[in-house]
């Protein structure tokens, strides 16, 4: 109990420092792809599974959850963001139990922008070539579980963004805690801090411009880009499991998100697990607070998904997940994930 109280106290002390801004800061953060979710199980609840997320996808929402796997898990995920925009987010991860109470994980993710036409001021329709930005993340996480009741974790993530002759890089730290209670661990509490990191700034030859001074004197001018912060966020979530017979469980979920550079969010959801082989879930998330003229979130609040798990052998289990989130504009976002546990 002391450990969970210390963890909550640290989060409460750090939060005013991270989120001391006001609505006028909305839209000022960069590297917003750090808020994308490539994993279908948690996307089906609009990323509100802070209190109970486990395995590889915990390294996206609450790294403390990686400590609750039995042995080894591999996962791959794909998010088709804003259907019709040709934007995808792909991820891969690996988690392994270390000793009796620890777990170590590696995660990689990248944004696929597709092919973008190269245009100029003189040729706004394109010059015949294409390019694709490279946005890549890699994280290393560790979690430790105390007496199956309290899990704490930390993750270090490198962030790399580049286009032709221009790039930026930085690092971020995620930290989280999960606490379970009850005769059957039916009550769960989770707190996570995400994307607390160094400022980033673009630099490179692409920011140089050749011009002419005094009529005929050529000169190269280097533009000075402004640094930008990462989109830090605090998540607090709770869940409670209701047994429906001996094999089925209905999980109720609630979550609050405080965003440093956008409006805060609150939401709730339900997840029904059937014989531990199938699950369906749905959630609704609402933005609240002053928008400061920044407009509405592209997600309109509704999310739903399903999972199927198959026992291939006595120690090999395969999971397939799907999720859909409504958006305006575009035609929603689709998530597909595959998991292997052994």
Give one DSSP letter per residue of 209-276, joined into a string.
Answer: EEEEETTTEEEEEE--PPPB----EEEEEEEEEEEETTTEEEEEEEEEEEESSS-EEEEEEEEEEETT
pTM (two decimals): 0.89
Per-residue confidence at 11, pLDDT binned at 50, 70, 90?
Answer: low
Tokens representing residue 209 in the block: 């411009």
Cis peptide upstream of residue 194 (ω within 30 degrees of 0): no
Cα angle for residues 46, 27, 18 (degrees, 5° grid): 75
Q: For the chain, count helices (H), then strands (E).
A: 3, 18
Q: Decide if 151 contacts 64 (C-beta within 8 A).
A: yes
Mean pLDDT of 298-320: 94
Angle at 26 between CA 20 and CA 29, to 5 degrees: 85
Show me where the domains of the chain are located: 2-19+36-341
2-19+36-341 classified as CATH 3.20.20.10: no
Tell me the sheet residues that pair with 174.
155
Q: Choose among 167, 165, 169: nearest CA to 209.
A: 165
Q: Tens digit of pLDDT for each residue in 100-122?
A: 899 999 999 999 998 888 888 88
278: Cβ–Cβ under 8 A, 6 or more apart, which residues?
Answer: 306, 307, 308, 309
Per-position b or e across 62-90, b if 16+ CB within 10 A of its CB: bbbbbbbbeeebbbbbbbbbbeebebbbe
Q: Could you give the CA distance from residue 113 to residue 132 in angstroms, rounded to a whole number?
A: 6
Task: Please indicate whether residue 289 or residue 29 has the higher confidence score (pLDDT).
Answer: 29
Report how far Cα 291 is from the mean position of its chain's Cα atoms.
22
Q: Would you state the structure tokens that stand for residue 323, as one six-digit string?
A: 């999720």
Residue 305 burial (C-beta neighbours within 10 Å; 0-12, 13-18, 19+): buried
Whether the pLDDT of residue 17 is over 50: the answer is no
User: 339 near 319, Cβ under 8 Å?
Assistant: yes
Query: Please, which residues bridge with residue 274 across strands?
Result: 278
- State the pLDDT confidence band at 35, using cuts at 50, 70 and 90: very high
Residue bearing tokens 């792909």: 90
Q: Roughly how many angstroms between the first and final C-alpha of the chain, as a whole number?
A: 32
State the pLDDT confidence band at 215, using cuts at 50, 70 and 90. Answer: low
Average pLDDT on 269-279 reads 95
């Amino acid at each position: 109990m002391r450990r969970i109280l210390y963890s909550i106290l640290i989060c409460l002390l750090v939060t005013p420092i991270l989120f001391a801004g006001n609505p006028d800061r909305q839209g000022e953060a960069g590297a917003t792809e750090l808020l994308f979710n490539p994993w279908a199980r948690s996307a089906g609840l609009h990323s509100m599974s802070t209190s109970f997320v486990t395995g590889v996808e915990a390294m996206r929402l609450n790294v403390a959850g990686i400590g609750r796997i039995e042995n080894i898990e591999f996962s791959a995920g794909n998010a088709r963001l804003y259907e019709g925009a040709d934007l995808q987010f792909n991820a891969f991860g690996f988690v392994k139990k270390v000793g009796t109470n620890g777990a170590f994980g590696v995660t990689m993710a990248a944004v696929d922008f597709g092919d973008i036409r190269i245009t100029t001021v003189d040729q706004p329709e394109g010059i015949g070539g294409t390019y694709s930005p490279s946005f890549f993340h890699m994280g290393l996480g560790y979690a430790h579980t105390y007496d199956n009741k309290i899990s704490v974790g930390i993750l270090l993530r490198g962030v790399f963004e580049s286009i032709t002759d221009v790039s930026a890089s930085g690092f971020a730290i995620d930290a989280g805690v999960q606490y379970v209670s009850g005769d059957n661990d039916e009550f769960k509490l989770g707190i996570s801090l995400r994307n607390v990191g160094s400022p980033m700034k673009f630099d490179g030859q692409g920011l140089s411009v050749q011009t002419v001074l005094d009529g005929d004197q050529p000169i190269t001018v280097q533009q000075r880009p402004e640094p930008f912060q990462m989109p830090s966020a605090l998540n607090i979530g709770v869940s409670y499991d209701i047994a429906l017979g001996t094999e089925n469980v209905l999980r109720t979920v609630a979550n609050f998100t405080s965003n440093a550079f956008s409006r805060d969010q609150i939401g709730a959801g339900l997840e029904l697990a059937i014989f531990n082989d199938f699950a369906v879930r749905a959630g609704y998330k609402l933005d609240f607070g002053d928008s400061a003229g920044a407009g509405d979130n592209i997600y309109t609040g509704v999310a739903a998904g399903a999972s199927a798990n198959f026992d291939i052998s006595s120690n090999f289990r395969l999971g397939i997940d799907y999720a859909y989130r409504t958006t305006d504009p575009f035609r929603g976002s689709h998530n597909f994930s595959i998991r292997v546990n052994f």
